Structure 1
Amino acid sequence: MRVRGGGRAGLVAVGLAAVLVGCGGGGDAEGAGSGEASDRASTASPSAPTASPSASASSSQQGRLAPDVLQSRWWSWAASEPEATNPVADEDGGDCARNQPKDVWFLAGTFGTQAARSCPVPAGVPLAFPLVNRIGGPADCVLFMDDVKGTAVLDGEKVEEDVYRGQAVTVESVAGNPVTGTDETFEGTGCGLWVQLPGLESGLHTLKIRGRSADFSTGVDYTLTVAATS
């Protein structure tokens, strides 16, 4: 994950960017502070993000979130916790459940490192995460997407990713978060490789996320435990 601002976020994901998986950032995020952290990244409001009427209207009929809505909500989620409990800085999955909305379960990448996380996931809730992503200005996304690569492998099977080359996004942050480094709300351009999955069956699942753009790379090995439906 990468983002322009006062934080270390320049990058993340699950990668999930700059990622869930990856997070890539480091651009000219409109309204954000100056400076760039290109060695970490993945973000939202102090409370768990929920779909607004406009967000619902721009979501697909299959229940998938539209590119602008998904990125705005994910970046805001990633920026909704200070570093000590931030899901992008999380080393083992202990913070992956923080501020999760009810209609989707977000996964995060890293700030340019490799991580292994174990997370409980509710049954029947779709998953969404970046392989590698960025927020900045339109020109930043052009450069970022010119050399982007990523993969997601769920239970040994490769998952197809969505390519988002540049959408207007709005990010809400809390003070002390390592993703944006600011508690301001700002607008920018979001881009990256993203995955949206339907709710997983109950049981144990493995998810391997990898993302790269230029000299930034990120990766997370997730062990996801889905509770049995009652």
Structure 2
Amino acid sequence: MSSRTGWIGIAAAAVVAVAGCGGEGDGGSRAAASDRPSEPPPSTSSPSASSPSAPAATRLSPADLQGRWWTWAASEETSTNPVADEDGRSCDRNQPDDVWFLAGTFGGQVERACTVPSGRPVAFPLINLVGGAADCADFMKTASGTASLDGRDISPDRHLGTTITVTAAPGNPVTDSSGRFSGTGCGLWVQLPPLEAGKHTLKIRGRSADFTVTVDYALTVAAPGTV
């Protein structure tokens, strides 16, 4: 993941700042513009017409997307955590049935190989954070990132500040504590429709201030009926 938390950040993903991870709050995580008010309203920018982003009818809301992703990222201890994953062996841990999440890192660069079931939408952050409203306002001032699928650029959605609920497992490396808590989620996010069966290359890059995330995914989408 490429994420950060004001508490602690993964595209993708780290969780308090990873592709997506970065953030801070009552249950911190490590994931991972112009001036914003201290409590920015939920907001996204529409992907460009040439982007392979998922159609609006199939997309998760900002609150659902971020809350579920952070919960997924904080569902495992370090040895099996998708944000701490060095090669992709943990990418299938605790995946929901209706979407396939990808993670960033706790900062730095990794290469991962991951098999994705057929017919599953894919979602991930380029850079993200969970914390307080002021944390997100500051974080998003310098948040930037890029993503490409098979060499084709993807336009991310920019979520400036959304109230989310996260449930974290004991001993996870993403949040400072376990249990259920609420915070403000923000970052640059991508939602893709189900990918065609076969091999795909996904490149995720995210940055906020001096926190950076670089993840290269070699994705294999299973043929229908095989996973």
TM exceeding 0.5:
yes
Match runs of 1:139-154 below 5 Å: 139-154=134-149
TM-superposed deviation, 1:117: 0.2
TM-superposed deviation, 1:17: 5.2
Take 1:79 and 1:68, find their aligned partners in 2: how far apart are those partners? 16
Match runs of 1:72-91 below 5 Å: 72-91=67-86
> Are 2:58 and 1:63 aligned?
yes
TM-superposed deviation, 1:12: 2.2
- Cα RMSD for the two superposed structures: 1.7
Take 1:32 and 1:118, find their aligned partners in 2: how far apart are those partners? 30
3-state SS in 2 of match to 1:221: strand
Structure 1 residues without counterparts, runs of 5 or longer: 43-59
Partner of 2:122: 127
TM-superposed deviation, 1:22: 2.6
Aligned residues: 201
Q: Which amino acid aligns with 1:187?
A: S
3-state SS in 2 of match to 1:96: coil
The alignment's TM-score, normalised by the length of structure 1, stands at: 0.83
Partner of 1:41: 31
Deviation per residue, 1:7-55 (Å, 9 max, x gap): xxx3122237545513122x3x1x337xxx7xx426xxxxxxxxxxxxx
Take 1:194 and 1:19, find their aligned partners in 2: how far apart are those partners? 12
Structure 2 residues without counterparts, runs of 5 or longer: 33-54
C-alpha spacing 1:213/1:181, structure 2 compared with 1 (3 Å): same
Q: Which amino acid aligns with 2:21?
A: C
Take 1:143 and 1:14, find their aligned partners in 2: how far apart are those partners? 21
Partner of 1:15: 13
**Is the contact between residue 81 and residue 174 of structure 1 (CA under 8 Å) also seen in structure 2?**
yes
Partner of 1:24: 22
3-state SS in 1 of match to 2:97: coil
* Residue 212 of structure 1, aligned match among 207, 211, 215: 207
4+ runs deviating over 6 angstroms: none
TM-superposed deviation, 1:63: 1.4
Deviation per residue, 1:81-125 (Å, 9 max, x gap): 011100000000000000000100000000001000000001110
3-state SS in 2 of match to 1:172: strand
Take 1:124 and 1:20, find their aligned partners in 2: how far apart are those partners? 25
Q: Which amino acid aligns with 1:145?
A: M
